[in-house]
Structure 1
């Protein structure tokens, strides 16, 4: 072998450089590792969709809109989220990338749009993490009200940060266990409500669909009459968006998933079943077990995040089950810790993707040898300090501020994914790429993306309707719409700094990175991990 060739190979080994055609960039070999096991990805996709928004937030929606409005809203938003997932699945299976949603927005729409998307996703989960830490602290206060919530914020912050410093496979295994526990908990809660509605509780009251007739299926909110019932339904729509927040989080794991062309479609297809089982059926049995005008339910919606605020606890209490609040409180602790851990994961990977695209300092693209983007994880973890704002007397108020910000950021994230997918489909058509060449084709796409985009836009624009009734509330108005201002501001900032332009459909890059993934498509996960990187390294050395 010629000395020049040996020298080049040694140089490549010393620098640990690999050209990943999946991203079209020169990367360090110790980058994100595709070490998520398929079962971990599948459980992660389910677990991220189940949070306190469903277990607790659904009670406020029931009290405002009634069981009919609640069910309709969760179905409509659920359909929209399903199309968000299938659109994301099409892009990720055809062009696997490890830059997060901002990477797809940069490549398929406009670098400025990708810049705003990536930072929006980062901000969303940086705000969600202290929210969940606060929720965990308030859960413990249910048993120990004498201890300040700041103590538990500190303890739980150390736990979830430690989990995120581990190898991605260890993180995946932890989330797998927590996700399995959440699934079992939700099945238990829904079964309990169904048994209560069928007369199996200690009071043996068979309510069935009685509460749909008296007090009724649709509640009045803020004003009387049909207008009040409409506002009640819209309140349920906004709450449903918060409840579904996190469903798309599994897309972040696609950058660390082996054999993405096989495993991504599997994870996406599960979306329909988790939406149908846990959300739609969950709110259906809840509306059968609790009347929306019950004083205990209305009082519970004014609480924070302890077990007493859960409408499922109210259902058990009305049926005469005494021990249920303590059980639910323990379950909520699992929900909040799992959510907080995944928040750091999502925020750090978003920052990593921004750095990879040159839209954040390059240091955040560096990883440990185990593939952990440690600097990005440290920055995301630092936002745990924001949770200590809740140590003051205004804990509930600050907590609601975080919830409002998180919801707006989440809807903006959905819209960014949908716009990217619509641009992706237009590019396929303009460049003559057949749908048969896609590893995965979503049901009713791209029409589903248009439907989901319209729904998301309406919720985004009119989520602040209650700031004008009965009087204008400045602080609430700012919280409802500041996310939009930040997003648009980021787009304008990047366009001003980089003079970026929107890609034409014929100019979108649909080639870079496809070949290696197509060649490895029929391999097992282990073969994919080993063969893909060996092949890419060999090509780099040849150059």
Structure 2
């Protein structure tokens, strides 16, 4: 069992370092992170980003201290809502993309890949993420038994439950203010840069022909999965 746990931990650590370093490098290339993080060595590795991500990994040794409970609580407070913000922003980005795509005169047949739940699936997903944030805010603001808690305990409880939100705002708002980036309307969105030139008509015809030949069980599987 220990071997299995060790392999799982190493796998998670490896994938986390790989994903976080590439994210940092991409952010740096877009001037949304310090420029030195965009450095790529001759073997294609974001070297400085790897160093930073690996250094942060040493925080795991806090687990061996006498304050490991407090450390875990605050680290969880920092990361607990991260997936909510991530998936909420993904859903919102898809909604805005589909609105811009339609506004600029494109049809869904021009898309090589489409989200299975579609536009309204992303709307629903975004709404659920907002509901989670609202519920978490209320949990932090007025926890069970809050009338018996001191002001200091209430403040601590709130930030332990909702610390990720002000952290996100702390990064987002100064960036918007400093760089004066506008909020894009659907007619301002650039939907062409970075697109590959594909013969979509031919590709879509091949895909439709292939789907038509699928048995019923495969069509059902592909619909849900």
> Normalization by structure 1: what TM-score?
0.34
CA distance in 2, matches of 1:368, 1:359: 20
- How far has the Cα of 1:336 moved from its partner? 2.2
Distance 1:351 1:362, change over 3 A: same
Give me the whole-angstrom Cα distance separating, in 2, the residues matched to 1:396 and 1:360.
31
Gap regions ≥5 residues in structure 1: 1-326, 523-543
Pick the aligned partner of 2:179 from 484, 498, 511.
Answer: 498
Aligned position for 1:393: 66
1:446 matched to 2:110: no
**Which residue does the alignment assign to 2:144?**
469
- Structure 1 residue 434 and structure 2 residue 107: aligned? yes
How many pairs align? 194
Determine the C-alpha separation between the residues in 2 that align with 1:515 and 1:387.
42
Bigger Rg over Cα: 1
Q: 2:17 aligns with which of 344, 347, 359?
A: 344
Q: CA RMSD in A?
A: 2.3
State the distance in 1 between where 2:95 and 2:129 align: 15
What is the aligned partner in structure 1 of residue 39 from structure 2?
366
Residue number in structure 2 paired with 1:486: 167
Deviations 1:381-417 (A, max 9, x none): 1102322322211223322332232221221111111
Q: Which has the higher contact order (CA 8 A, sep 6+)?
A: 1
Instruction: Indicate whether 1:515 and 2:199 are aligned.
Output: no
CA contact (8 A) 2:73 2:160 kept: no
CA deviations on 1:346-386 (whole Å, 9 max, x unpaired) are 22112111111112222211212222111111111110232
- The equivalences for 1:23-102 within 5 A come to none
Matches within 5 A, 1:394-413: 394-413=67-86
Q: Whole-Å Cα distance in 2 between the matches of residues 357 and 381 of structure 1?
A: 22
Whole-angstrom CA distance in 2 between matches of 1:462 and 1:493: 26
Offset at 1:428?
A: 0.3
Task: Flag the 1:463–1:332 CA change in 2: closer, same or farther, 3 A.
Answer: farther
Question: Shift of the alpha carbon at 1:490?
Answer: 2.2
SS at match of 1:440: coil
Cα deviation, residue 509, structure 1: 0.7
The alignment partner of 1:501 has SS state of coil
What is the CA–CA distance in structure 2 between the aligned matches of 1:432 and 1:461, rounded to whole Å? 36
- Per-residue CA deviation, residues 302-323 of structure 1 (Å, 9 max, x unaligned), is xxxxxxxxxxxxxxxxxxxxxx
For 2:32 and 2:85, how far apart are their aligned partners in 1?
Answer: 19
Among candidates 375, 382, 403, match of residue 48 of structure 2: 375
State TM-score, norm by structure 2: 0.77
In 1, the alpha carbon distance for the partners of 2:69 and 2:10 equals 19
